[in-house]
Structures are given as C-alpha cells and as structure tokens.
Amino acid sequence: MAKENYNASALKVLEGLDAVRVRPGMYIGSTGVKGLHHILWEIVDNAVDEAANGYATKVEVVLYPDGSASVRDDGRGIPTDIHEKAKISGVELVFTQLHAGGKFDNDNYQYSGGLHGVGASVTNALSEWLHVEVYKGTVYQMDFRSYYDAAKKKFESGIPQGHLANTGRRTEEKGTFVRFKPDANVFETTAFQLETITKRIKELAFLNRGIRFSVSDLRPENASDEGETFYEEYCYEGGLSDFCKFLNENKTPLYSKPLLFQAEKSNILVEFAIQHTSDATESLVSFVNNIPTAEGGFHETGFRSGLTRALNEYARNAGFLKEKDANFLGEDFKEGLTAVLSVKMKEVQFEGQTKSKLGNSEARVPVETVTYEGILALAAERGAKSLFESIIKKAQGAAKVRLAVQQAKKEARAKSDIDNLKLVGKLAACTGKKPELNELFIVEGDSAGGTAKQARMRQFQAILPLRGKPLNVEKKKLAQVLENEEIRSLISAMGTGIGSDFSEDKLNYHKVIILSDADYDGFHIRSILLTFFFRYMRPLVNAGHIYIGMPPLYKIYKGDVVEYAYDDKELPAKIEKVGKGYQIQRYKGLGEMSAEQLWDTTMNPQTRNLMQVSIEDAAEAENMVTVLMGDRVEGRKEYLLRHASFNRVDAFKDIKDKK
C-alpha cells in the first residue's frame, strides 16, 4: 500500500509548462475531438488512481451547459501544504508544472494511469479557466485563467488568480473537485461527446470493481423529451467478469460464468477473465494501468503463452491428448475465446502507432506465470471439469479445421491458388516497388473499377474491383472465409497471408483504401470489408493502414464553376457558393463519374478526403461488430431502434422544393 502520509514533499518537479500551448499536439496528440477528451481523461485518471490505490470509492463526471466539465473524487485530496523547493502549495504545483505530481516514485501510488503522464497541468494550460477545490476538513480553492497578454504579444496559459486559499468552510467531505472549460483558441471543437465519455467511464468501472462512477450531462441538447437531464451510474462488483459478460451479450457462451483470476508476480498485478462462446473468432481486450492497449504488447504475449501452456497440460492430464499426440496450438484455443486482461505495474512504457502497445518486456514472464498458474488453479476447483472439457472440445474442433485448411493450402499452392492467385482482369497493379508509397483501392463493381483504373496514377495506385459482395466473415470459420473468391482475391493482392500465415511485413500497399458508393449497398460493402480486416487482419487497422475513401455525394455547377459536396450538411453552403442558376447532380455511384472527376475528388492525394480507420476502444469495437454484423437479430434491432433516425429529412429533396 502506498503512503498515507501524502503531502507536498512527495511531489517531484520535472519541467515547466511553457511549450504546451505552442505545440499542444505534442502533449495531447491533436487539437481535435480526441485531444479535447484527452484533457478530461487526465483529470479523470487522477481520480481513478486514487480509487485504484484504495483511497477513493467514487468518481463523478459532470458536463455543464457553458461547455465546462468537472471531475470529483473522495480520495485524499491534492496536497495543500507548501512544497519545500518550489515554495508554492501542492495544488499550485500540480496545475502549473508539467510532470509535477506524486507518481514519479513508488511511494505514493503503487500503480498509476495517465495517458502520457502529462498530468493536470496540461489540462490547465489548454483551458480558458480552471477551478479546483480540495476537501481536507476545510475547503481550499484556487482559480486559473488563460488569456492573451497584449504587452508580451502571447497567450499566458493557466495563470493562477492568487495562491491557494483556505476558505474557512468546514467540511466532513474529502477529495478533490476540478472544473475546467476547454479553450476555443486551442481546440477545433469544445463540445464534449456524451457517448465517448460514457463508454470510457463504463470501461473504467469494469476495470475497477466496486468503485462507483457517474456521468451527469446538464446540457439541454442532451435532455430527454420530458426535459430530464442525463444521469447514469456505473458500478460493477464482478469487475472483469462483468466486463466479459458485457462483451458476450450478443454471443452464445459455452459456460454461464466467466473464469476470473487475479494474482501478483514480480510487483506486477495481473487479472484476467475468460469465457468461450460458440463463435469462430477471438476477442481479447487488454489494459495496462486502466489504459487500453489496442495494439497489444508483451502482456498479451505472456497471457496467450500461459493460457496455451495451461490448457495443453490440462488436456493431456485429462486424456484428451495421448502421448503421441502433438499439443494444441495457441490459435486452437483462440477460437470463440472472449478475454479481458488487466495488468497494473510501475514504470510503464507505451509504444506503437497510437501509443497503445506495452513495451515493457519484463511484463511477459510474470503475466505468463500468473495466467498458467491461474488456469490450472481454476481447473482444479470443484465442478470445473465439464467447463474445461467444453473448452478442450472446442479446441479439438478448431484443430481439425486448422489441419484441413493446412492441407487445402498445400493443394492450393500446387495449383497456384490463394497465395499465387492470378488476378488478371481483376487487380490492376501499380508499377512502384516501395510498399510504403503504394496504395490499393478496393472498389465496388466493374464499372467503378474501370473508371478508377483510368483515373489512377499507375506509379503508386493499384485498383482491385469487387464482383459482388464479399462474404460477411462474422461467425464464419477460416475455411469458409477462404472459399469466398472476393476475399481470396483481396488476400492475394495484399500479400500478407491470413491466419497463422499472416505477416504485416509482407503488406504490398501501406494505404488500403475502401472506395464504395455513397449508398446503402456501398455502406454495407464497406462494413463487410471492415469486419474482415477487424477479424482477420487487425494489426493492419492498429498500424493505420486501412482507410475509407470519401467520394462526393453531389456535384453543384454553373458554367465553368464546379463545387462538390461530400454530405448533406455541406450541400447548402456549396450551393450558395456557386450562386443562383446552379445545377445539381446526385451521384448514385462511382461509375457515374468521369475519370477526371474521380481523380480530382477522390483519388488525388492533394485534394481527396480519406478517413483513417482506427480502434479507439477495442472493447466497444468488438461489441459493435458483433451487434451489427452477427446473426443475433434482436441485438441489432435494439441498437437500430436506439440510435437510428427514422425521421431524417432528405436534404436534396428539401433543397429542390425550395429552389
């Protein structure tokens, strides 16, 4: 347990705050929506760290009509005494000095989160104003503001409006309250997204069992039809077990209750929950110090290794594997596996495309050991025999399919199938030999494919037309996936292989762009392809190789003046720009465009709009793919009734009526 004697002397000062406003992207990733929420997560994570280390029982988030947000916890409260070296209070230190806090040694927090360790000072620096209250028998408060100093000709960020004040108000409460308003001079938007916040808070509630989280949204635009403002509480006594159940809501579990285990090894706390389902695919979501690790890392490697070793040992001891039989492979146990892995450790190092990959190699062995010992301990419990037999039988079926696929691949290679599939008439390859510069456009149908082939720059752009809809791979086994000609063509064109043969290093195109029509069929094809990449080539998504092309929906023109609108919201502004007497064309498909139009609007790197596909929340992505692409109609219907708008006015029709 960390120190109870938590005062200003525990705070270590690493550097100042000057550069934050100059280059905010260095500290919060971007000044878009993701960066906006990042400054909220920094405050939330401080509260969660108090709870995770046993000092707080609740965390409350409130969104206000003026655009501000607040976070409150009932922890120890930020130190209010004077720091010996800095000669200011602990509160002022935390909010004005970058990397100042109680988490830079192991005395005050056993484990701590924080997305990049930049702390509350960055939230202060990028806010119009910030107000903090600390409850320690009496109420302390302090205010900060950011403003433009005309004399200095620069913005002053997070300036204290006086030192920490003891208000003299007595209180029996304890903890910290922070309210801040993001600065519109910094962020592209200052509107917090309720859905983004509730998803993350719900996730934190799963990861911190028994801690009560709440979200209140006092903004009138999110009130109910009856005028009630949004309020939701999240508290899960089952922790990761409840998380596992949540992920499997729209699946059919093989056993009713997830297996849950927790232990500490080499100062690393490891907790995992697993539950197998009738599905063919795996869902593993992992976290380090409450931070999602969508790109995996050494903890996932250790978990998989420990799980495989333990289940093989059980299978052999129980007689499922004879002396002459080879062990099951890890991929055999992955089929239908839903798992949540949470690791808490010190001195965390994040790597990867989005800083969501654990780089601490020392985590692998402890996680593997805890997983191995935990699975065998669970298997030895009374009544566990039938449960573990169902897991082994599931692996037996997967192994049979794997061996059959291997045999089919051998035969296929002999016939120049799959890996050496001739794509004459399908793939129009590019001439460039550098994968990092090459682009693959996956287009819908021969008509669009023909236009795209004429429009492209053949030096670095390749075109793969799809003839019909690819297979929806959700709920399909690998053998079934490989039977689909469109999927086989895609695998061959990309060069990475699939399944156990997959290798990201062999990718032929570092930009893989889904270019479908802007209609319902096009959206369906896009969803099918994204499901395929998510299930069978997820490292490409994590690494940022998958994109969605954004073709225009409308062409607005008058004489030589041409404007394109990419959605209904853009249309009125584009019409106004062209002026009276305009004509309008609604594109039903890419094939309606000329090669020149397709190049100018959709394929030219200088003028096109691309949407990079990423996984911000692996657990939410897993749940969404299952709901929308799975075979459980009830779950999909419930989602559509909750989120779809059936009363949307058609913007094009509305404009035609007014014209």
Catalytic residue IDs: 444, 517, 519, 521
Question: What is the dihedral sign for C-alpha 120, 36, 163, 46?
Answer: negative
For residue 378, give the 3-state DSSP assignment: helix
d(CA 621, CA 280) in angstroms, rounded, equals: 17
Helix (H) or strand (E) holding 657: helix 651-658
**Tokens 């000709």 appear where?**
153
* Burial (0-12, 13-18, 19+ Cβ within 10 Å), 198: middle
Question: What is the dihedral sign for C-alpha 306, 307, 311, 314?
Answer: positive
Q: Residue 34 in contact with residue 117, Cβ under 8 Å?
A: no
507: nearest Cα among 450, 457, 546, 468: 546
DSSP 382-425: TT-HHHHHHHHHHHHHHHHHHHHHHHHHHHHHHTT-GGG---TT
d(CA 531, CA 386) in angstroms, rounded, equals: 33
613: nearest Cα among 522, 523, 545: 545
Please work out, in degrees rounded to the nearest 5, the angle formed at the alpha carbon of residue 540 by the alpha carbons of 534 and 545: 115
Alpha-helical (H) ranges within 318-384 are 330-334, 364-379
DSSP 161-175: SSS-EEEEEEEEEEE
* Residue 653, amino acid: K
261: nearest Cα among 326, 306, 213: 306
511: nearest Cα among 537, 548, 536: 548
Q: Residue 532 in contact with residue 473, Cβ under 8 Å?
A: yes
* Residue 350, amino acid: F
Q: Residue 118 in contact with residue 99, Cβ under 8 Å?
A: yes
Q: Residue 459 in contact with residue 531, Cβ under 8 Å?
A: no
DSSP annotation of 603: I
d(CA 521, CA 466) in angstroms, rounded, equals: 13
Helices 385-414 and 298-317: angle between axes, nearest 10 degrees: 110
Q: At 190, phi and psi to the nearest 5?
A: -115, 15
237: nearest Cα among 209, 202, 271, 204: 209
- Strand 154-160: give its sheet, edge to edge: 154-160, 127-149, 165-182, 69-73, 58-63, 212-217, 230-234
DSSP percent split of the chain into helix, strand, coil, nearest 5: 40, 25, 40
d(CA 167, CA 132) in angstroms, rounded, equals: 12
Residue 379 bridge partners (DSSP): none
Residue 127 bridge partners (DSSP): 182
What's the full length of the chain, in residues?
659
DSSP 293-308: -TT-BHHHHHHHHHHH
